[in-house]
Amino acid sequence: MKVINSKYKILIVDESEEQLLELEQVLTDQKFTVLKSQSGKEAIKIYRKERPDLVILEISMPDISGFEICSYIRKNPNKKRIPIIFSTTSTDSKDIIESFKVGGDDYVAKPFNFDVLMARINHQLSMLVAKSIIIEKNRELYNTVIARDRMYSVIAHDLRSPVGTIKMIMNLLTENTVDNIVEETLYRMIREANFITEELFTLLDNLLKWAKNQSGSMTPIFQEIDLVDITKGGVELFRKVAIVKNIQVEFNTIPMAMVNVDIEMTKSCIRNLMSNAFKFSYENSKVVVSLSEEKDYFRIAIQDFGCGMNEEEIQKLLNPKTHYTSYGTAKEEGSGLGLLLVKELITKNKGHLGFNSIKGIGSTFYILIPIPQPKKLKL
């Protein structure tokens, strides 16, 4: 890392005037700005006023020890943490160990080998430059992420409402249009438009939730709920969508499954898994939704008999660092966001996402939600 010496101030603290003058000459020749002090108290005053970039500090000082000066600097930082190099004639390992304990970054033995001293100064200042660059880049990255998440949130929020209205209208059209009254082509177009609107609404809803989750503003609110009810609700919601591909929906469930979860997050997980199942199912096939008990968990599984995926494709979908888009059986383009969101939301609810998939046969995606354990009575 390139260090421009003229930009840096170095404070030398040493009781020897001869040593101070010698060091001052060496550092001045290297274009550093030099501050010097022969006492600990004066050194602290200079530190507070001048804000040096590096300190060369003698351990043995007449009024305040170098260890005490170092401790003071560490407890009273001037915005940034500055490097401190101890100088000493001592060969006692206890002094060297103590210099690091109180916050020193390096030490150099006296009498000075000036080549060694300059190498250590340059090393510390190089790390200072690198740290400054990292801090600045992190700040830029943070601001970029905040701006991105805000943009996603605004886009999703502003579009979600009008698309929701269109979705409602398309649902009404689909439910109230009889295929033997209107032309078959028109009827099919209405159904497909309804399906596309449902997909768009789901995408915007996912985008809004994802943006909130990335910004840290999405905290689960745990409530007691019966999984049977919300799973059944998801099934009923997608029965309308199933009409487009003429897909049969089968629902198998246990009588009751009481859990403590965030209701909206759990509903979102079920909707996304069902949406994927329909997207990757062939026409005239079926989707099986099952709710069962499995050891310490309730298991909600959504099985399709569609195109299936191999291990590599699924890992790409679950990798937040890549954008992997797959296509449904009717060439529906996916965003790759739904499955990622399910993984994040179910983890927030102390659950797990799992899957089994065979290329050309179909897939089963499932979520495991912990069964609440009875509280032990305190005796």
Mean pLDDT of all residues in the chain?
A: 85
Q: Please say if the pLDDT value at position 301 is more than 90.
A: yes
Burial class (CB in 10 A: 0-12, 13-18, 19+), 243: middle
46 or 316, which is more confident: 46
Report domain extents, the chain.
7-112, 143-218, 220-379
Q: Please say if the pLDDT value at position 177 is more than 70.
A: no
Q: According to the model, what pLDDT value does residue 328 have?
A: 64
Q: Whole-prediction pTM value?
A: 0.56
Mean pLDDT confidence for 316-336:
63
Mean pLDDT confidence for 81-106:
90
The Cα 196–Cα 236 span in angstroms is 18
Cα–Cα nearest to 337, from 213, 168, 194: 213
Q: Please say if the pLDDT value at position 164 is more than 90.
A: no
The Cα 284–Cα 246 span in angstroms is 5
Under CATH, what is the fold of the domain 143-218? Helix Hairpins (1.10.287)
The Cα 194–Cα 200 span in angstroms is 10
Q: According to the model, what pLDDT value does residue 200 have?
A: 74
Mean pLDDT confidence for 305-314:
84
CATH 3.40.50.2300 fits 7-112, yes or no: yes
Q: According to the model, what pLDDT value does residue 249 have?
A: 94
Percent of the chain having pLDDT more than 70? 86
Mean pLDDT confidence for 313-340:
67
Q: According to the model, what pLDDT value does residue 34 have?
A: 95
Q: According to the model, what pLDDT value does residue 273 have?
A: 94
Token code pair at residue 97 = 């160990």
Q: According to the model, what pLDDT value does residue 1 have?
A: 64
CATH class of 220-379: alpha beta
The Cα 95–Cα 87 span in angstroms is 11
Q: How far is CA 190 from CA 98, 170, 290, 334, in A?
A: 79, 7, 30, 21
- Kindly report which listed range (43-52, 112-121, 197-206, 308-317) carries the lowest average pLDDT score: 197-206
Confidence class of residue 376 from pLDDT cuts 50, 70 and 90?
Answer: low
Q: According to the model, what pLDDT value does residue 105 have?
A: 94
Residues whose CB is less than 8 angstroms from the CB of residue 7 and which lie 6 or more positions away in sequence, other chains included: 53
- Kindly report which listed range (118-132, 168-182, 256-270) carries the lowest average pLDDT score: 168-182
Token code pair at residue 1 = 């890392």
Q: Please say if the pLDDT value at position 291 is more than 90.
A: yes
Render pLDDT for 192-247 as a digit per residue (tens, 0 to 9).
Answer: 777 777 777 777 777 777 767 766 767 888 999 999 999 999 998 888 778 778 89
Q: Which residues on neighbouring strands pair with residue 362, listed in sequence order?
A: 358
Q: Is the dihedral of CA 156, 158, 159, 161 positive or negative?
A: positive
Q: Is the dihedral of CA 144, 150, 153, 159 positive or negative?
A: negative
Q: Which residues on neighbouring strands pair with residue 258, listed in sequence order?
A: 226
Mean pLDDT confidence for 304-321:
79
